[in-house]
Amino acid sequence: MAREKCVLAYSGGMDSTISVVWIQEQYDMDVVTLTVDLGAGPEIEGVKERAARAGAVESLIWDVRDEFVNDYVWRGLKAAALYEGTYALSTALGRPLMAKKLVEAARQTGATAVAHGCTGKGNDQVRFDAGVKTLSAHGDPLRIVAPAREWGMSRDEEKQYAAKAGLELREVGDDQRVYSIDRNLWGQAIEGEDLEDTWVTPPEDAYSWTRPVADTPDEPEEVEIGFEAGVPVSLNGKKMSGVALIDALNDIAGSHGVGRIDHLENRLVGIKSREVYETPAAVVLHAALRALETATLSREQQRLKSFIATEYADLVYDGRWFTGVREDMDALVDSSMRYTTGDVRVRLFKGTAVVTGRRSPYSLYDFGLATYSTDDEFDHLAATGFIDIYSLPARTQYKSQTRHDAR
Ligand code: ARG
């Protein structure tokens, strides 16, 4: 009888490479690796060889960058989803799509199990498991194997296991730090090793997408981003695919040191963890789109949207992507974006991204109403009547209820 098959989400990193070996040993299953390309860049190189060396029977590489950007990243951007106000959810937005692809690959290859390299302490296990369980709910249930959650090895034991299995590790620095890094087009998350001390300044070599401010250009650079219905469509006047635009913006903004985030965050599993992020394009695009919204949305639309933002960010972070409530929120957000078309200019300089201009054919900003020049069209005297009625309830209440001696 043929051995059962397991499709493993495979990044090529240490945890997932050890997992290839470990699943064969512990579960007596064949391992098919699936590398879901979300734009992790050079990491994809050599992935097939690494998988084969670790004993995988087949290794799939699926480029899903367009789907990632169009169906996940842009939704998060439009919803203003920043977890705890800072983290653009790069990893968190990628996981549901990876779960979807794992289920697809399992169905295609006749696998009975899927696996991921997440530990039992993180958010990612929740996102993977919940995604797989949800999307496979119709067919035969898929067994979920999570080696790093099951094997009980410490980080040092993992390194030893990797050495025993003949796997090479990519180390940082002479002191053999191996950060746990997750990266895709929308950002990279760096954790572990010396960063586990919340007082330690992240060493320069922990970063790789952003330059230290001391080495950034002494001249500011302006970028112009064009949006259509809330979606970025051009950079400096040039139409681009989402993938190309994010790639280019990561480079430009990263070279000005924009996009470093040092966050002590609340994980879903109840622990606080220190995470360092590099998300240059995300920082610029969030700032730019929010600026455009200030022109195209009414005050009430802006407020309503800001209520959704935290909900949306928590939902993504917590692995509840494949739910009706997410679709409901998307519908509201998309409706609010109908007229959010226009351009935003952002100035990049010494680690900062500052909006210096915004314009839209649908802007609610009316020069004739706003100006203090002779072009003023606003009826100043009408303001008195407005304030009279506007302050009526306050006056009424003050007269009948307030104890004047106490004020
Ligand atoms: N803390 C982030 C999240 O939960 C990123 C986790 C990424 N993993 C890593 N190995 N750095 O979305």
pLDDT in tens, the chain (407 residues): 789 999 999 988 778 888 999 999 999 999 999 999 999 876 777 899 999 999 999 999 999 999 999 999 999 999 999 999 999 999 999 999 999 999 999 999 999 999 998 889 999 999 999 999 999 999 899 999 999 999 888 878 888 888 887 776 655 444 567 888 899 999 999 999 999 999 999 999 999 999 999 999 999 999 999 999 999 999 999 999 999 999 999 999 999 999 999 999 999 999 999 999 999 999 999 999 999 999 999 999 999 999 999 999 999 999 999 999 999 999 999 999 999 999 999 999 999 999 999 999 999 999 989 999 999 898 999 999 999 999 999 999 999 987 665 55
Considering the domain architecture, whether residues 157 and 9 belong to the same structural domain is answered as yes
Per the structure, the complete domain to which residue 288 belongs is given by 180-297+340-359
Considering the domain architecture, whether residues 101 and 190 belong to the same structural domain is answered as no
User: Do you know the residue count of the chain?
Assistant: 407
Q: Which of 137, 164, 191 is the last residue of a domain?
A: 164
Q: Which atom of ligand 1 is nearest to the CA of 277?
A: 5
Considering the domain architecture, whether residues 147 and 205 belong to the same structural domain is answered as no
Q: Which of 164, 194, 221 is the last residue of a domain?
A: 164
CATH number where 123 lies: 3.40.50.620
Q: Which of 132, 164, 196 is the last residue of a domain?
A: 164
| pLDDT in the model for residue 98 | 98
Q: Which residues pair with 7 in a beta bridge?
A: 32, 114
Q: Evaluate whether 369 touches 377 at the Cβ level (below 8 Å).
A: yes
Considering the domain architecture, whether residues 210 and 82 belong to the same structural domain is answered as no
Considering the domain architecture, whether residues 156 and 262 belong to the same structural domain is answered as no
Position 364 in a domain: no
Q: Which atom of ligand 1 is nearest to the CA of 192?
A: 11
Position 253 in a domain: yes
Considering the domain architecture, whether residues 133 and 103 belong to the same structural domain is answered as yes
Considering the domain architecture, whether residues 186 and 135 belong to the same structural domain is answered as no
Which residues approach ligand 1 with their CB closer than 6 A? 91-92, 123-124, 180-182, 189, 191, 275
Query: Which residues are catalytically annotated?
Result: 15, 95, 124, 180
Considering the domain architecture, whether residues 131 and 229 belong to the same structural domain is answered as no
Predicted TM-score (pTM) of this structure: 0.93
Considering the domain architecture, whether residues 79 and 218 belong to the same structural domain is answered as no
Mutation pick for ligand 1 pocket among 191, 196, 274 (CB with most ligand atoms within 8 Å): 191
CATH number where 292 lies: 3.90.1260.10
For atom 1 of ligand 1, the residue with the nearest CA is 275
Considering the domain architecture, whether residues 239 and 151 belong to the same structural domain is answered as no
Rounded Cα gap, residues 79 and 71, in angstroms: 12
| pLDDT in the model for residue 164 | 80
Position 21 in a domain: yes
Give me the DSSP letters along 47-78: HHHHHHHTT-SEEEEEE-HHHHIIIIIHHHHH
Name the residue among 156, 132, 161, 135 with its Cα closest to residue 146. 132
Burial of 380 (0-12, 13-18, 19+ CB in 10 A): exposed
Position 310 in a domain: no
Mutation pick for ligand 1 pocket among 127, 275, 277, 320 (CB with most ligand atoms within 8 Å): 275
Considering the domain architecture, whether residues 9 and 119 belong to the same structural domain is answered as yes
* Beta carbons within 10 angstroms of residue 232's beta carbon: 24
* Strand arrangement, sheet containing 260-266: 180-184, 187-191, 272-278, 260-266
Q: Which atom of ligand 1 is nearest to the CA of 89?
A: 12
Position 311 in a domain: no
Burial of 405 (0-12, 13-18, 19+ CB in 10 A): exposed
Q: Which atom of ligand 1 is nearest to the CA of 191?
A: 11
- Number of structural domains (the chain) is 3
Position 150 in a domain: yes
Position 38 in a domain: yes
Rounded Cα gap, residues 318 and 296, in angstroms: 31
Considering the domain architecture, whether residues 106 and 160 belong to the same structural domain is answered as yes
Position 314 in a domain: no
Mutation pick for ligand 1 pocket among 84, 182, 186, 265 (CB with most ligand atoms within 8 Å): 182
